[in-house]
Structure 1
């Protein structure tokens, strides 16, 4: 099982408690990590016990590679030189994808817990449901129950012969471009969202929409669903609000226009570079 599914989600510990169990701990929305010999590592239970800190909002995430995974938050001051704090975007540059995805899950769970302290119906205090199989918050007054939710968004690489469509969001640094992305509306299929977002942002129509892959995106609680598509019709006309520039670029031009990372946006661009 562990060779086939490295991470097993669970609301209760799967394995016997071990000093090598993983702890994903956040302080001021930044993840605590250990730095040593050029590597970034996640604290284990033996490390956390040595720190003697008070952890709150503790949640079991499941198990990874035979060890339990817990997450939580703390406010204590730590002075050890080999301890650092990183936001998740920075973390993604130093760890493998599995560790990054687990850190993302920890962040998502903690955000869900903090955002559901009070009932959305009656305003009463919520509590974590005591269950082996179900992760939920229940209202202490009316019984309203809420579960962790994620907001789906599409991201798509659009090709036109030997060129790739890249766009620059208003919030991007100068000369930094990426592929088109946007949130899925209620009652909308992923493919419909691809068509709509592309047309709204750059004014063109696409065809041959094909699934590429997916990736949790904890900024703050999204799931990115990746696609590839081909140009069908129209001339590029940016919306001028979210997108300030867009154009077709050759393989040679794309080089250096994006930041390589483990993000699915980067993977889509690299797919184009390998294909052409």
Structure 2
């Protein structure tokens, strides 16, 4: 019997519902912009969307897979903000399905939170990525069950420069730093966090990272896969930038307060939207 609820389109094997919305992103053509800000926290996505132009109705699409999309205009230019949740899987899904319903180049800026790996970069800074490394758990290796990349993927230089310029000029009260980012596949083991209930043999993770890249700036969970997709698949026309608030200091153990994080998120919203609207 023919399935009347969904259809599968080759070669992406993407699933569209009867209304033409790709699932599980739950957007169709016209509901997602080629200029995208991705955030892990759906509340951060909502905050940024509140800086859209007030004379254009915001399109809100919610997915049953924790993806929430806000599409509106800034300075008359259509922009989308997508809350993805955490991890490689969700941003891989977003990019692949966005590509299936969009035409032309995609400009994507990840705006997240991170831990600072650099002793001289405290909490409350903006960490802007120039290249991305990855680390994942290797479940077969008991002695040191982690695999670290040694060759990074380079971020889009134009977007990186635009982010740095806008952030330093419009928010001089905050320090903006450019450097290499590491993206982990797990929150605990692969990031060197320890728990006595789960002995992960990860006490040397950060020292191994600094051996490979002494200038390593920050630790998070998404940028590496975005840089990989942009670098390895030029036919996808994906240009990627990334900037994160340094929420934790992995050297000193310091942590940014929720109040300070909220202020930085709200302050950065206009800067991010301006960067994309100026493209």
Give the TM-score of the pair, scaled to structure 2.
Answer: 0.29
- Larger-Rg structure: 1
Name the one with the larger strand percent: 1
Tell me: higher relative CO, structure 1 or 2? Use CA pairs within 8 A at least 6 residues apart: 2
Q: TM-score, normalised by structure 1?
A: 0.29
